[in-house]
Amino acid sequence: MRHRKSTFKLGRTTSHRRCLIANLLKSLIEHEKIETSVAKAKELRRHADRMITLAKKNTLASRRNAIAKLMIRYNHLSSKEARKSKEMNQRYFNNDRVVVSKLFDELGPRFLARSGGYTRIIKSRDRHGDQAPMCIIEFC
């Protein structure tokens, strides 16, 4: 029996589900609006609200917890890659650092006065291939 189990399994193993949620969180933080299935969005909403709560605290421990939850691995760039990234004037090789800075520098202060409910789910359409209900999840 699954009494008092509060997770959506989404038909995936635990490790696959953790990676899926981490990637969806990165995309949501980066773009502030994504389209996904309703089941994934309902699970993602729980994790996104917790990320905003960590960003509102803005301590070193909360930053490290967010990095762990987002499964961010800082790849050290070789000198050639760093030079190329600097010449292109953007973070060409790794957007993960941008995601963490956006979470703590923009999204955390934006929701400082709000005590919950940072995301909204808007149902949009049925997916063409399998008729799965789709929705848009975004930050309010």
Q: Does 73 reside within a domain?
A: yes
Q: Does 66 reside within a domain?
A: yes
Beta-carbon contacts of residue 117 (< 8 Å; ≥ 6 apart): 49, 140
Q: Does 30 reside within a domain?
A: yes
Q: What is the pLDDT of residue 89?
A: 62
Q: What is the pLDDT of residue 53?
A: 96
Residue with structure tokens 């605290």? 57
Beta-carbon contacts of residue 138 (< 8 Å; ≥ 6 apart): 32, 33, 34, 119, 120, 122
Instruction: For 87-106, write each residue's pLDDT tens digit.
Output: 776 555 667 878 999 999 99
**Based on the structure, what is the number of domains in the chain?**
1
Q: Does 108 reside within a domain?
A: yes
Are 65 and 25 in contact by the 8 Å Cβ rule? The answer is no
- Positions in the chain short of pLDDT 70: 75, 89-94
Are 99 and 91 in contact by the 8 Å Cβ rule? The answer is no
Q: What is the pLDDT of residue 30?
A: 93
Are 132 and 119 in contact by the 8 Å Cβ rule? The answer is no
Measured distance CA(10)–CA(75) in Å, rounded:
30
Q: How many CB atoms lie within 10 A of CB 38?
A: 15
Q: What is the pLDDT of residue 95?
A: 76
Six token digits for residue 22: 């981490």
Instruction: Identify the domain containing residue 98 by its residue range.
Output: 14-139
Are 37 and 127 in contact by the 8 Å Cβ rule? The answer is yes
User: pTM for this one?
Assistant: 0.84
Domain CATH code at residue 118: 3.90.1030.10
